[in-house]
Chains A and B, each alone.
Chain A
């Protein structure tokens, strides 16, 4: 119990004093997850709209498949990326393994089903008459789709934030394809994992508090936006 208390005190000290290592890890985690979520959003919002507004055979099955991948194990994605980027792999020559780019790539694949599935759900929750009204007022199919996406903006924002939460909190993937290299690919989750195994509970707790605080801030921002 004393150890835990000391850990908490030390953690607060590290945060308040803006310990360079803690800050660096935090900024890197945010940068990698934000980059992966931005890339995913750029792909998934138009792709989700395309799937929602298109009529094709097997659409229901495709949506079910996407939803199934919500809970894909991070290590499975990690393994896939590892094989892809390892020296003997098809993209081995690019030398991307154990770099932040590999971590971003992995996180994109990890959160893509969540953002895609939730974007489709968000659009499905909007009255079909919105799209049709836009068409009747002279919008092209693309313009009407953008309007519908705008109408579903809060639900779409939830999708983006859920994806960000999944990206920033995963550990298996980052360890496998990032390698937890100090000053290069170490993130909040990989650092917690490492420091705990080394017995540096204070640093682990400090990083854990930051991670939880980030989740809290994101949730508060989200609920504020949804109440508007």
Chain B
């Protein structure tokens, strides 16, 4: 049985639908990442799951129990969960008292409180700051206090809303290390909302893509990133090459797809004559000056139309009869002298192509 479950969950603000038909199951000890663009409804969903708001429709079940009953039972269940908000608020008191307040509210008094608080402060590397006023901490330290405060009550479910948003890179890596440690050492189910795809990929067992208030796909990080089911998911997970085509022939699972007069070979279960969309990740495209013998089944003569530097990388736009976007290192750009007008070959494997049904 799932620890936390939603059934046809929906929510409205002022007559405007912000969440619709959310069906999720979170198991004990599972790390579930909720990814989606800003404004997709991630925070609202976490607020509903943490019982801070009542859903407009549908139900939430914790350990098989309907949570939408009395206020007292909501409080009891809420005390088995914890929530770290995107912009955590620390109370105007010492770091120690900030962390201890959850235990005090649960009336878990005695020497155990001190032991637990100190242990969790050690975990977040703030044991030396116990007496400091929490209001004087930096952004990264504040975030760690918020995490400590949520962990000290030993929740069965921990909700994290964009836990590294607004932090500098050093603080981000420290908080992520801490989260990874928590995931490894504790059996707490974690639901983490993030717009950072790679963070979801790094930390989660399963990922749910929330776009426009709907969960469009749930799966392992690999499934979501390699095999997005819809255009919206594909665009969100960074698939920049989304090409419309028609399956012209098929041999076993290997399909030949016509795209703007060119033919792409891909592994697909769709039938001949079906209208499909072809998804290719930019990092799966290789640029060479000569036609090389490789295992890649798709090789096209191309002309570079644009080179955009991206730090140590560069984004290459090439015209192969259709526009293809690739990402290469700056070193490759220099070595191959890739610049607008340059003729080259682009290649990618049939297995690097993901084919989905065309939506329009």
Contacts and interface: CB of A to CB of B under 8 A. Distances in A.
A11 B101 CA distance: 53
Interface in A124-164: 127, 129-130, 132-140, 143, 147, 150-151
Interface in B95-153: 101-102, 105-106, 149-150, 153
Contact of B149 (A137, A140, A143, A147): A137
B102 A129 contact: no
Contacts of B93: 150
Contacts, number: 51
Given A129-B85, A129-B87, A137 B92 contact: no
Contacts of B101: 134, 137, 139, 147
B52 interface: yes
Nearest to B90: A133
A135 B102 CA distance: 10
Interface residues of A, number: 16
A140 B75 contact: yes
B79 interface: yes
Contacts of A130: 89, 91
A157 B134 CA distance: 22
Contacts of B78: 135-136, 138
B87 A136 contact: no
Contacts of B92: 150-151
Most chain B Cβ neighbours within 10 Å, of A130, A139, A151: A139
Given A143-B105, A147-B101, A136 B89 contact: no
Contact of A139 (B83, B89, B105, B150): B105
A137 B82 contact: yes
Most chain A Cβ neighbours within 10 Å, of B52, B87, B92, B153: B92
Contacts of A135: 52, 78
Contacts of B87: 129
B105 A136 contact: no
A87 B149 CA distance: 60
Contacts of B37: none
Given A129-B85, A133-B85, A138 B91 contact: no
B50 A147 contact: no
B58 interface: no
Contacts of A137: 82-83, 101-102, 105, 149-150, 153
B88 interface: yes
B277 to A, nearest CB: 41
Q: Taking chain A's interface residues, is the majority helix, strand, or loop, or is none over half, making it mixed?
A: helix
Q: Taking chain B's interface residues, is the majority helix, strand, or loop, or is none over half, making it mixed?
A: loop
B85 A136 contact: yes
Contacts of A140: 75, 105
A136 B52 contact: yes
Nearest to A144: B105
B106 A138 contact: yes
Nearest to B153: A138
B110 to A, nearest CB: 17
Interface in B56-88: 75, 78-79, 82-83, 85, 87-88
Given A137-B149, A138-B79, A147 B85 contact: no
Nearest to B87: A129
B75 A127 contact: no
B91 A147 contact: yes
Interface in B17-71: 50, 52
Nearest to B92: A151
Most chain B Cβ neighbours within 10 Å, of A135, A138, A140, A143: A138
Contacts of B89: 127, 129-130, 133
Contacts of A143: 105
Contact of A136 (B50, B91, B106): B50
Given A130-B91, A151-B92, A138 B102 contact: yes
Given A132-B52, A140-B75, A151 B91 contact: yes
B82 A136 contact: yes
A130 B88 CA distance: 9
Contacts of A139: 101, 105
A133 B88 CA distance: 8
B163 to A, nearest CB: 14
A5 B97 CA distance: 56
A66 B78 CA distance: 36
The 4 closest A-B pairs by CB, nearest first: A136-B83, A138-B79, A137-B102, A139-B105
22 contacts: A127-B89, A129-B87, A132-B52, A132-B85, A133-B91, A134-B91, A134-B105, A135-B52, A136-B78, A136-B82, A137-B101, A137-B105, A137-B149, A138-B75, A138-B78, A138-B105, A138-B106, A140-B105, A147-B91, A150-B91, A150-B92, A151-B92
Given A138-B105, A139-B105, A150-B93, 20 more contacts: A129-B87, A130-B89, A132-B85, A133-B91, A134-B91, A134-B101, A135-B78, A137-B83, A137-B102, A137-B105, A137-B153, A138-B75, A138-B78, A138-B79, A138-B82, A138-B106, A138-B153, A140-B105, A150-B91, A151-B91
